[in-house]
Structures are given as C-alpha cells and as structure tokens.
Amino acid sequence: MTQLKVMVAAVVACGAATVLWLQHSRNEKLRRDNEVLRGAVAELDSIHRTRDPVVGSESLTRGQLDELLKLREEAARLGEQTNQISALVEANQKLAASLKVIQGSQRDASKKKGPEDALPQDIHPRDSWAFRGFATPEATLESAIWADVNGDAARSLEAYSPEEQPEMQKAMETMQRRMKDPHFAADEAEYATRSMSITEFRILDRRSVSDDEMVVTIYLAGRRVNGSGLDEDTVRSVLKKIDGQWKLSGGAPPGE
C-alpha cells in the first residue's frame, strides 16, 4: 500500500513537471508573438499619428484599417491567453507545494515508532489498569487487556465486535480443551502465563480510517516466563465504533 502511494506521488510529480514545462514553452512563444504584434500595432499607430490629425483614420487605406483592427484583436487575445497561462502556472505551483506536504507526511507516517516514541498519556502501566468500558478506542484497549490478564472471559468477549466474538469464543473453548490435554498443557500454560505477565502497554500510533474506524499500534511489555528478562511485542488492531461503542475488529492487514 505504501509503495503504491509513493508510485502515485511520483507519477503526479512527473506529470506536474511536464505540464509546467509545456506551459512555460507555450508562454514563451506567445510572449514573443505578442511582442511582434505589439510592435506592428505601435508602428501602425505611429503612421496614423503622423497623418493629418483632421483627416484622422480616413487617411489610412481600408486594408490598413482592417489590418490594424486584426492586430489589435490578436494582441488582446494573446493577452488573455497569457493571463490564463499565468493562472495555470500558479495553480500548478500550488499543486507542487501540496504534493511536497503530502510526501513529507507519508515519509513521517512510514517511520516505524518504538516504545520510546510513546507520549506520556499513552503509557499504561499495569497498576493503573481497570475496566474502562468502550466509549473510546483507548478505553476499549485497556478494558480488553485488563480482562485478558485477569482471566475475565466475559468482559474479554465484550470488547470485540459481533463479527469477531464467535471466533474469539471458539478460540477460548479450544484453549480450555487443550489445557486439559497433557500433550499440550505445558505449551498452553506457558502461553497463558505469558499473557498474564504483561506489565504495561503503550499506544504508539493511531490512524483514523473513518469517523467509525481506527487502526491502533500497541506495544506490549511483560516479564518472561523463565524470568530471564522482558517479553515484548508490537501489534496493530482495528477498532470500529458500533452503536456508540468502540470494539476490537481484528488485526490490521500487513502494509497498512
């Protein structure tokens, strides 16, 4: 998705440069033609002024008058075209400036944020967690993590969208069955212990898809099961606003 945006931006930039070059060339040609026509008009006006002032325009032949009118009309037309080209050049300059801003924003967005980039208000240590409800994306995330760590399956399911709840319910039931199987009990117990060992989470990034959808990047940190250090993970989750409440709606597709 990011590569496609960069390609589109490059095509737009090349197109804008080509348009500017063509308009500049045409503008130069029109300027030269305009200067020639203005010289011709000035010459005819000079001839007109040197004639008997009483006679005025009657001193010019019919052909000279027609030619003078044509030249004046052509000069006026070229003046209008020059003004139009100036307006187009100005519009393209504004487009180029906007494109630079968009490209800069894309470069900033493409930078991978780490835990150290989290704002103070987006750092949530374990001792501050509680069930916060689902009024905001942040509240939903904290409520879901709190429920997982405390083994509250009902509250955990409640944090997910109706479309996701059946899959989550199935996963929980599968986990419970496998925990009873001695062949898998050790691995599953380690996974469960790992989930309950989370010590903090941080919100690294938010991207609004629409008024009712947001992609959030979350950093999770916890103690390793064997006590040898920290266990870290970064996940991206989609949250959707449903009936006034924000619910988890799966992970973000790769590359978004």
Could you report the per-residue pLDDT of 8-47, keeping only the tens digit for each? 454 444 555 555 555 666 667 766 766 766 666 666 666 5
Q: For the chain, what are the domain ranges?
A: 2-110, 116-251
Distance from the first to the final alpha carbon of the chain? 6
Yes or no: domain 116-251 corresponds to CATH 3.10.450.50 = yes
Nearest alpha carbon to residue 117 among 22, 32, 234? 234
Which spans in 51-135 are helix H?
62-110
Q: What is the pLDDT of residue 7?
A: 46
Work out the percent of the chain whose per-residue pLDDT is above 70: 61
Taking the C-alpha atoms of residue 172 and residue 89, their distance in angstroms, rounded to an integer, is 62
Determine contact, residues 239/220, Cβ cutoff 8 Å.
Answer: no
Please report the pLDDT score of residue 201 as a whole number. Answer: 93
CA distances from 127 to 130, 146, 196, 201 (A): 9, 10, 13, 11
Q: Please tell me the predicted confidence (pLDDT) of residue 55.
A: 42
Q: Give per-residue pLDDT as tens, 217-244.
A: 999 988 765 555 567 888 899 999 999 9
Query: What is the chain's mean pLDDT, rounded?
Result: 75
Local mean pLDDT, 10-residue blocks, the chain (256 residues): 47 51 65 69 61 48 76 78 77 75 58 85 94 95 90 90 91 75 57 65 93 93 62 88 93 52
Angle between the 185-196 and 165-179 helix axes, to the nearest 10 degrees?
130
- What H or E segment, with its residue span, contains residue 199? strand 198-210
